[in-house]
Amino acid sequence: MTHYPKPPFKPQQQPVPGDQRKMEPMPDCGEQSYKGSGRMANKIALITGADSGIGRAVAIAFAREGADVAVSYLDEHEDAKETARWVEAAGRQCLLLPGDLGEAAQCSAIVNDTVKQFGRIDVLVNNAAFQMTYKSLEDIPDEDWVKTFNVNITAMFRICKAALPHMAEGSSIINTTSVNSDMPNPSLLPYAATKGAIANFTAGLAQMLGERGIRVNSVAPGPIWTPLIVSTMTEDMVKEFGGNTPLGRPGQPVEVAPIYVLLASDEGSYISGERYGVTGGKPIL
């Protein structure tokens, strides 16, 4: 068994969106540990927010399972290049797609560029997210509320809509929600609201796309040690991050990736409309 780090963690605030290379301890995205077994041989996957954290772990896992990967990210170029290095080391192709998913044109562009490079999309992982912490409702600027919804849920709608013409029967859509979807942290009010919307969107879209043979599921992580944490939370929140879970620690990105592999692979062929928690023991109901 791997013994992952427990709090307390050292102070390490960073500017948004954060740099994984500067985190202590460094998040484990499976670079040294994930072993594939051909469960996604020759599939094409588009993953948003895949420069670091959960997205990187999923990209590495997919590549080691045999998939080529398109990596959408904001502007964390060095982190994204590191993800590409691991994908290519697995013998798979990696396409880097920088840009702001809060813009409608970028949502279409990442789909078009992926299809231009690879010809189709077999797996779409909507994982990119924005969050900030606030002490009160009055502290939330209108522009932050709008940005959070644009990046977290409106972009998801736009990307799904653009990708569907390029997805055949048997394809899979996986959306990242959160334990906050039904246990909202008040300091993350805009983020938590979008995560509830994602859970609902996923459940409805699964029913809408069932007749096309396209499966739609969501993954609800609990506290996972990623750059989003150190770039958006207070020093005190970072220090004790994940300590309130039954397992007493935050999860590592590599611990989340296997459920994405199951939902993306043909082994998950009868799984659709579901939400899977990876929460360290925190229940989702």
Strand ranges (E), 147-259 = 172-176, 215-221
Decide: helix, strand or coil at residue 177: coil
- b/e sequence 104-115, b meaning 16+ C-beta within 10 Å: eebbebbbebbb
Q: Catalytic residue, from 34, 73, 191, 276: name it.
A: 191
φ/ψ of residue 97, rounded to 5: -130, 80
Q: How far apart are the first and last CA of the chain?
A: 28
Selection from 284, 226, 285, 215 nearest residue 255 by Cα: 226
Decide: helix, strand or coil at residue 112: helix
- b/e sequence 21-51, b meaning 16+ C-beta within 10 Å: eebeeebbbbbeebebeebbeebbbbbbbbb
Q: CB 117: neighbour CB atoms within 10 A?
A: 14
Beta bridge partners of 44: 68
The alpha carbon of 283 is separated from its chain's Cα centroid by a whole number of angstroms, namely 20
260 is catalytic: no
Catalytic residue numbers?
191
